Amino acid sequence: MKRKILTALITIAMLTLAGVLIKNAYERKTAPTIQEKHEEAQPVTQPTPTPKPDLRIEVVAERLSEEGSPLADKSHVFIDCADDNGVDPFLLVGITSIESSFGKHACEGNPFGWNSCKTRYSSLEASCQSVAEGIATKSYYSRYRQTGRVEDLANVYCPPTAGCQTTHWVATVEAVVTDLQDREFIRIMDDLTKFLPAGKSHEELLKNLEALEERLKTATGPSRETIEILIRANKRGLEQIKK
Q: What is the pLDDT of residues 7-66, one digit of tens each?
A: 443 444 444 444 444 444 444 444 444 344 444 444 444 444 444 568 899 999 999 999
Q: What DSSP letter does each residue of 107-161 carry, written as one string?
A: SSS-TT-GGGGTS--SSHHHHHHHHHHHHHH-GGGHHHHHH--HHHHHHHHS-GG
| This model's pTM is above 0.85 | no
CA distances from 95 to 26, 67, 70, 157, 210 (A): 80, 14, 15, 10, 33
Q: What tens digit of pLDDT does each residue of 80-106 get?
A: 999 999 999 999 999 999 999 999 999
DSSP state letters, 177-199: HHHHHHHHHHHHHHHHGGG--TT
Amino acid at 41: A
Q: Which fold has domain 55-181?
A: Lysozyme (1.10.530)
- 70-89 mean pLDDT: 96
φ, ψ for residue 198 (rounded to 5)?
Answer: -55, 125
Sorted by where each begins, the domain ranges of the chain are: 55-181, 196-243
Q: Percent of the chain at pLDDT above 70?
A: 78
pLDDT at 168 over 90: yes
pLDDT given at position 239: 93
CA separation, residue 177 to residues 14, 48, 132, 182, 234 (Å): 93, 34, 15, 9, 29
